[in-house]
Amino acid sequence: MQVREQHMLRFKQFLVDELKVCNEAEAKNRIFFISAREMLDARMKAKGLIHKAYQMDGHQYRAMEFTNFESQFEQIISKSAINTKFEAHQRRAREIVAAMRANIEIVNNVAAKKRESLEEELRSKEEIFKQCYSNWKEFERNAIVEVKRLRAEVHLKVSADFYEEIYRLEAIIDKFDYKFVDEPRFIKDYKK
């Protein structure tokens, strides 16, 4: 039994510390003490190929451990086969994801640059618009002032001309010697 414990300790160190393929709890399920001869004879006897199987003390415990070994080995082989089968698919999926990530980053960078460009263009257009709006307001104020000035000037001129015409009309009427007759032939003379 002491030899078994020494082997168990050495195998655990090998699997856990040197190979680093498992932890101590998992290592217990990966170390088996079996007798290949006992198991071969036991299987041949079960098939009827031999009559007496080679068996030493503790063979039942070793037989149980061998059954456990077969089960564990089958699981590991199956898992390894699945990993091997899907490894290429997994690698290809990683490549596709990496390519997609690179494309997304490129699109994102281009979009960010375009956004910055458009924001700068918008700021520039807003400045131009503000300047145009300011110029328009200034023009509108000046136009209103000019319209008021022209209106006042025209009003003044028209009023002066109107006053002058009324003043002259009075003088013309005073100088007119004929009596006013509203027949068409006399109106002609009156207009002259």
Averages of pLDDT over runs of 10 residues in the chain (192 residues) are 81 88 82 77 84 80 82 84 82 93 96 97 97 96 96 94 85 71 74 66
Q: What is the predicted pLDDT for the residue at 37?
A: 80
pTM greater than the 0.95 cutoff: no
DSSP label of 14: I
Q: Classify residue 189: in a domain, yes or no.
A: no
Q: Classify residue 167: in a domain, yes or no.
A: no
Q: What is the predicted pLDDT for the residue at 32?
A: 74
Q: What is the predicted pLDDT for the residue at 129?
A: 97
Provide φ and ψ at 123, rounded to 5°. Answer: -60, -45
Q: Classify residue 105: in a domain, yes or no.
A: no
Q: Classify residue 26: in a domain, yes or no.
A: yes
Q: Classify residue 99: in a domain, yes or no.
A: no
Contact present, 35 and 62 (Cβ < 8 Å): yes
Residues 6+ apart with CB under 8 A from 21: 15
Residue owning tokens 């089960």:
71
Q: Classify residue 139: in a domain, yes or no.
A: no
Domain coverage including residue 45: 2-93
Q: Classify residue 19: in a domain, yes or no.
A: yes
Residue owning tokens 């199987």:
53
Q: Classify residue 117: in a domain, yes or no.
A: no
Number of domains in the chain: 1
